[in-house]
Amino acid sequence: MTLPITIFSIKRCDDGIITSKKGSVQPNKSPYSTLCDILTNTYPDEAADHGADADQEEMIHTFSKFSSHVYGKKNKAGYATYGYSAFLVYRGYEDNPVNTDNAWQEAEIFNFHYKYRDSFDTRLKADDTVGWQTVTEQMALSPSDMAAVKEAGKIRTNVL
């Protein structure tokens, strides 16, 4: 039995295309800090408890805060208790769909698995541009986003 894959997505205002949350790395910030910023900007009640030089482990800890109604950082050993896991799906280059001159950009794509979504749902700001979406073949995801989602689904299926 194949479980449906849901992603936390954003609908772009300019063209209505659904995409995963992304961000450009700002000067003097690590890529992991940028991802933490995206999360804390989506959930304005969250205090940014990561530094500009956050590493991969600190980013995973930041995302763990949403794995249950027990807010705050969880210790790594307790992740499974809250139905949370995180792993790197892809590290390399991806086509930049905004650019038409075959520009490639560095990318790291992570899968953050939450057994329980209710912690996200109760803290999501009232906005119809972000939310959970079940992935279908007809969904207007960029090719690199769709490939990453499929790869995460394969890995997740092998883990279960």
At 1 the pLDDT is 38
Looking at the DSSP bridge assignments, the partners of residue 93 are 106
Asked if the structure places residue 107 within a domain, the reply is: yes
d(C-alpha 94, C-alpha 59), whole Å: 21
Asked if the structure places residue 141 within a domain, the reply is: yes
Task: Look up the domain containing 155 and give its range.
Answer: 6-159
Residue by residue, pLDDT tens for the chain (160 residues) are 355 676 666 666 666 666 666 667 778 888 888 878 877 776 666 555 677 888 888 888 877 776 665 555 555 555 666 667 788 888 888 776 666 677 777 888 888 877 765 566 666 555 556 666 777 777 777 777 788 888 888 877 665 4
Asked if the structure places residue 60 within a domain, the reply is: yes
Asked if the structure places residue 1 within a domain, the reply is: no
Asked if the structure places residue 123 within a domain, the reply is: yes
Residue whose token pair is 């997740």: 156
Total structural domains within the chain: 1
- DSSP secondary structure string, 7-21? EEEEE-TTT--EEE-
Q: Count the Cβ atoms, other than its own, within 10 Å of residue 41.
A: 13
Asked if the structure places residue 92 within a domain, the reply is: yes
At 93 the pLDDT is 83
Contact 143, 149 (CB under 8 A): no
